Chain A
Amino acid sequence: MQQNKRLEMGSLSRRSLLRRCGTGLATFGLAGLLGDDGMLWSALADDRPNQNPLQPRATHFPGKAKRVIHLFMNGGPSHVDTFDYKPELQQRDGQKLPISFQTERKTGVAMASPYRFRQYGESGIHVSELFKYTAQHMDDIAVINSMHADVPNHEPSLLLMNCGESRLVRPSVGSWVTYGMGSENQNLPGFIALCPGGYPIKDTQNWQSAFLPGVFQGTHVDTKHQSIEQLVENVTNASVSRKQQREQLDSLNQLNQIHLREHGTDPALEARIQSYELAFRMQMEATDVFDVSQEPQHVLDAYGEGVNARQILIARRLIERGVRYVQVWHGQGQPWDNHDDLEVNHRRLAGQCDRAIGALLTDLKQRGLLDETLVIWGGEFGRTPVVELPQPGANAGKVNGRDHNHHGFTVWMAGGGVKGGAVFGSTDEFGFKAVENPVHVHDLHATMLYLLGFHHKQLTYRYAGRDFRLTDVSGNVVHELISA
């Protein structure tokens, strides 16, 4: 009360209060961020434009994970060929299975995995030869074998996995997380989506901020390119040198100071002045972070060759600099969607990223970053244990691939407070459907948010008369996946 009285004498707006608080939103917490089309959000954007919306903010409670790398195997990797070992399926190769579920296309008899599995680490988790480098880290990984989603089609499943809602326009996970926590590096975007070659299916909707402010949208970087101009928009200047630009900014500052002097202190004016200095630094930082050639040779060797290796290394460089959320897409379109020639294609795709994923986990651990970095691997769904039957126009009459499978699939997590060496849930004996401890995508999201320090039901945003959240009206935290 005493304190309130004192404040009452001065300026009483939220703005001034926050200025007094020093740490700003850190004390204000999320309460001040919950907004309407302007209402409380205006506390941040409108009344206090001096507040960088990406400034770090305290979460509901201290989470172990401070940042996220989501390795997105878009198209849908086959779980029975990677992290969900099914001896029974191997036995029944070519036989009709006693169970069958509706998927996108017609399917036939059981198709054994063409890959060898073996056990890894003290936990003895089975992993196929496709991910033998990743498998070296099984004791740090929690495998969820009982994931399930809603429908067997790419578009809705991508939106469900990325935005928590398969049909409507809703913010992506990365947007929610940066909205909730801000970012630790103001010289880089808080949420970056790396995808070589262009966009995945559903394009930028996968990292949309929807009704959240645009600053929380994922920044797409086409990692096929190597020169910085092509990686980040307007981050370089073709016609003004760095030195010349510094001269410009110095004079600009002088003029802005005169303007400020004449207009009285106005946080909006100050914030814009600040943003130019931030931008100047961002140019250097962004140029620097995408330049993997600065890495020592042994690191480059560890990650291996190719664009996936490079972008996974970039992901590490980004989170190392405090970027909050990095999504690494395997490639444009839907590379893992192997309706046919699965054996060859899965081998090729895993070959492009396995070594780098293993190196990433090693690297994070060596740098002491793994404890605070949540690494997630998976696609929008898995694939059927049965063979896909030929269909006109779809798979060229080949019968050697697997259809989409949303009934059961695998996602694994590591670091950031995840219990290592754990397997949670399981599919049936053939790997078709999640039967034990099923984990819906909403549950995965609730768990991710929990690891980051959020109660998923309380991370909300008021828009169009309603409080929205990532998990809509669902979601249960899977506490078994969290280390004590």
Chain B
Amino acid sequence: MNSRQISWHLLWIGIASVLAISTDAKTTIDENVFAPEQLDFFEDRIRPLLTRHCLECHGPQKSESELRLDSRDAILAGGSSGNAGAVAGEPDTSLIVQAVRHAGDFEMPPNRKLSENEIADLVRWVEMKLPWPKSAATISPFSIEELIQQHRRNHWAFQPIRRPAAPPVQSRAVSAVDRFVLAKLESIGLSLSPRADRRTLIRRATFDLTGLPPTYSQVESFVNNDSPNAYSELVDRLLDSPQYGERWARHWLDVARYSDTSGYALGNADNRYPFAFTYRDYVIDAFNSDLPYDQFIREQLAADHLDVPGDKKTLAALGFITVGRKYLGRPETVDDQVDVVTRGLMGLTVSCARCHDHKYDAIPTQDYYSLYSVFANNHVPDELPLIGSDQQRARFESYFQELNELKNRIVTFRQSKHQALRQHIDEHFPDYLALVIAPEQELLIEKQAFIQLKAADIRTGVLDQWRNYLRKNHDDPALIKPSLDLLAIADDQFELNAAVLIDHWSNHPDETRINVLYLEKLKSNPPIQKIELARILGELFSETLEEWKSRGSKEPPIGQFDGPRREIAAILFDNRSPARISLDKFDKYMELPERQELEKLQAAIVKHNAESPAGLARAMVLRDNEQLNEQHIMLRGNEHQRGDIVPRRFVALLSREDPEGLNERPIFERQSGRLDLAEKIASRENPLTARVLVNRVWMHHFSRPLVDTPSDFGIRCEQPVQLDLLNFLAAEFIDNGWSVKQLHRSIMLSDTYCQASDERSDCVARDSENRLLWKMNRRRLEFEPLRDSMLAVSGQLDLTLYGKSVELFKPPLSNRRTIYGLINRQDLPGLYRVFDLANPDQSTARRIRTTVPQQALFMMNSLFVTQQARHLVDAIPDFSNTGVPAKLTWLYHAIYQRDPTSEELEIGRQFIDSSSPRTGEKNLGIWQRYAQLLLCTNEFEFID
């Protein structure tokens, strides 16, 4: 065994033991549930192996020896030999293993032995007792329609949402939530933990709902409140506080991949989204006003198609679609929109079907492009609409004045450059024609006396247009066809044969329709080289143009001519001719310096908007294209490889009104179809929307979701242990009018939520990961509540709601809540990555959580934290009489909302007495250093 084999061997032992142990752990909960790792193993190694090597002969079409290998049951049952195909846990006696090893009566597959790795995989799989997902009882290379049927039938998340009855339980249960939880716990002899103490409870609820700590006096009054309603009143008070919206909007902004910039700024562009904040404020407001979640979805996808109040603030909701990264390629930008809508709202990974049918879920590529088409048929208007009242606008006179000036500059710029372009084209007919005729002979061209254009001044856009235009009109019998005939002559025989051809035309006018003026010129001054045709044609165009001008440039120009001149005019003044490039098409013909200048002018408007006065707001809308484009499938995701045209409509998998999953579901009729799509998603018929949302809300309360992959409810997502609870919450959520606040109450008023977070050794043994919720999970504050809490306890927190985003990390440091911090996706503060903030380029429902020393560096060394320490100490009242313990107690009240223990007081006293003295103004004083270390404790950052 060489070293590589050894390491593989070790790795395998590692995996095998983990898998084996997890299985055993799971069996204490449910006999038939395999660990996710085992199912992954099946999906990654076994399913492909079976479909690739076995199913052709042992599947639904053909079952040799009556053996089928497309379901776990079939394998266990075996075929005509009478023996089981496999014996769970016993590879050596399993028929399929013997067959692939070529060690028994059969040698399979018949034509080729499997690789050693594949055989090892199969052995491992039988050892694991053939893990197989319940959601795909039978596997096969099924048609997509069959898969749709199967997934609809079998996968838990695609079943209609029905409210399950709360199960009977032994313990006294206050709420339905508790009954679902207790039923599972009691089934293995466990129970909920006792209720957490009052102080813990108020901290937990306050952080959960507002992202801030309670004050000492709030804690005290709650602890001393004997009313049986004290806790529910607390929850109501917190839900009513404006800080609730700020906290929960931040969770939503993770899903919405919110950022204040568009990404990479090409050239001179300004990458700021000056009005992204209006979307953020809309979300805060939506949570605070408990906007029904279905309406929240409709507004975010199609506010512009709804009746909205006069101030148009609702339009800001469309930021959900538009605040994503602006990629250099349009398909990527649209893909991101499809992703945020499908994964973000439904937990369906539709974007996986961009290049090929989804590998796991029954989502064909055409369904992806159906949704793609919905978004591709929209655009962001040049000027975003103003929102807010008219009275407000009156205050911004100077802003609008300057804006108009900046806009006028662009108009003037375009006009003057367009004018210059037209003149350039008019003056250089022969030059461009020469370049079209002899593109490979640049040096030769420059030597021609009639050429005036220097290589550096060639406009590639114009040249391309000439080239395309002449190519498209190759059959014009007057000018272009004869020219092509001449150009077809071999170079070295040109002079002679051209003369012959010209002669022929002159002598046989019935055989050609060449323009007589052209023919005259060819005769009077016969071309010696091909390139001279450019001179001759150029002269014809110039003369015609001059003549038109001299006659007053009347429109339409072609109509001003007759006879042979009209033939020339017909080419020169054709609407698609380079000589007629109109102002509205001018941008396409800009050369680099012009584009750069335009970018600068446009960037000035972005800057003006970014620096616009507070209160001025615009909505980041998108608008349906006037001309709706048909959408082709992009084969393998390549936009240049067109497949079939697909209509705009919903995914088949979730359209039960289309029973076969074929073409019976309705096509979106209202413009781009955003509103139709919104209605499909924000519907009680949609099996995913409500489940996905309640799962995420649960996750934020318990620090762990009921369904582990909160943005992927596809078939690889196993049925959660608490499926009934999830279904109950989803059904109740819909019945309560999609009220998120009501959902918080359902969860928070349960005993399950209120229980203590302490470890219980009896429970650890049965359910080490607390899947069954025998305790509350302890959790660490994310960055936003951590920073906000430091500001809160130091008395510095600025509670202003809404407004433009602010730079948080440049002195003088802002005291705004972290949600108002500017998020530049192109230059995300390192701190944001260090503290695991959501990546603003991808919809994120669940943040990764790591513990790394750079987080501690921020707490120990940052200007922000040391400033809060100074403020804390500045705020200590004068305790000159009572001294150190009183001061310490005050700090404990401010920071932890409790009294210190005598042990803690002693540690504090020692620190104050014996720390190194202050060395100067810049140096933190001893008390300040102590306050800082109190902010660094686990107690400050963890919520029980």
Contacts and interface: CB of A to CB of B under 8 A. Distances in A.
Q: Do A and B come from one complex?
A: yes
Interface of A: 3-4, 7-17, 27-32, 34, 36-42, 45-47, 49-50, 52-54, 58, 60-62, 96, 106, 108, 155-156, 167-169, 186-187, 189, 199, 202-205, 209-211, 213-215, 217, 219-220, 233-241, 243-245, 247-249, 251-252, 254-256, 258-260, 263-266, 268-269, 271-276, 278-280, 282-283, 389-394, 397, 464-467
The listed residue with most A CB atoms (<10 A of its CB), out of B352, B709, B828, is: B709
Contacts of A275: 851-853, 855-856
B20 A4 contact: yes
Interface in B1-49: 3-4, 7-8, 10-11, 13-15, 17-18, 20-22, 24-25, 36-37, 40, 44
B916 interface: yes
A278 B456 contact: no
Contacts of B938: 256, 259-260, 269, 272-273
Interface stretch (B78-86, B305-313, B327-335, B879-887): B327-335
Contact of A464 (B21, B343, B862, B916): B343
B18 A14 contact: yes
Nearest to A254: B907
B378 to A, nearest CB: 20
Contacts of B857: 233-235, 279, 282-283
Given A28-B14, A464-B711, A268 B764 contact: no
Nearest to B912: A251
Given A31-B15, A39-B708, A49-B851, A241 B941 contact: no
A464 B339 contact: yes
Contacts of A27: 10, 13-14
A233 B851 contact: no
Contacts of A40: 36-37, 40
B939 A255 contact: yes
B923 A205 contact: no
A29 B15 contact: yes
Contacts of A276: 853, 856, 859-860, 936
A4 B329 CA distance: 53
A60 B7 contact: yes
A16 B849 contact: no
26 contacts: A31-B15, A31-B18, A31-B37, A37-B712, A46-B704, A50-B851, A62-B4, A209-B833, A214-B832, A234-B831, A234-B861, A244-B916, A244-B929, A255-B934, A256-B937, A259-B937, A265-B759, A269-B938, A389-B455, A392-B457, A392-B592, A392-B593, A397-B456, A464-B352, A464-B842, A466-B359
B618 interface: no
A4 B128 CA distance: 13
Contacts of A241: 916, 919, 923
Contacts of A12: 21-22, 24-25, 768
Contact of A204 (B3, B593, B827, B942): B827
B478 interface: no
B903 interface: yes
Contacts of A46: 704, 848-849
Contact of A38 (B14, B18, B709): B709
Given A4-B20, A155-B266, A268 B780 contact: yes
Given A169-B325, A392-B457, A465 B916 contact: no
Contacts of B714: 465
A239 B924 contact: yes
A28 B759 CA distance: 26
Given A203-B826, A272-B938, A248 B932 contact: yes
Contact of B18 (A28, A205, A397): A28
Given A40-B36, A40-B37, A234 B854 contact: yes
Nearest to B768: A13
Contacts of A279: 853-857, 860
A404 B107 CA distance: 56
Given A237-B860, A241-B919, 19 more contacts: A11-B768, A27-B10, A37-B711, A40-B40, A46-B704, A60-B8, A155-B328, A167-B332, A187-B853, A189-B854, A199-B827, A233-B831, A251-B910, A258-B903, A265-B759, A276-B860, A464-B711, A466-B352, A466-B359
Contacts of A52: 851-852
B237 interface: no
A278 B21 CA distance: 33
Interface in B272-322: none
The listed residue with most B CB atoms (<10 A of its CB), out of A8, A16, A106, A273, is: A8
Contacts of A106: 460
Nearest to B441: A96
B930 interface: yes
Nearest to A271: B851
